[in-house]
Amino acid sequence: MEVNSQFRVINTEINGQDGESIVLDLTSVEFIDSAGLGLLLEIKANADKKGRAVSMRVSEGGQVATMLEVAHFGGVIAIIQ
């Protein structure tokens, strides 16, 4: 299953639950683009509506970590390395 599809499944699951925190494990993701960043924002917005905290676990030094840093995502979603 591609990452885009996995994000959409997560987003669907968020809509059905309240109150639990969510940790997105992106350590096996090697590449993320603007579409992926948009999906992360969508997940965050839906989680906020349900009162759920969101954080992401990423591998240090990879393209994903670099992209999240360049896009200043640490101020939007907590990043765990």
Please name each of the domains of the chain with its CATH number. Answer: 3-80 (3.30.750.24)
CA nearest neighbour of 52 among 77, 10, 19: 19
Output 80 or 16, whichever has higher pLDDT: 80
User: Distance (Å, rounded) from C-alpha 16 to C-alpha 33?
Assistant: 27
Which pLDDT does position 1 carry in this prediction?
46
Q: By percentage, how much of the chain surpasses pLDDT 70?
A: 77
CA nearest neighbour of 47 among 72, 81, 22: 22
Beta strands of the chain (E only): which ranges?
22-25, 54-57, 78-80
pLDDT digits (tens, 9 = 90+) for 6-45: 666 666 667 666 667 888 999 999 999 999 999 999 989 9
Q: Name the pTM for this structure.
A: 0.80
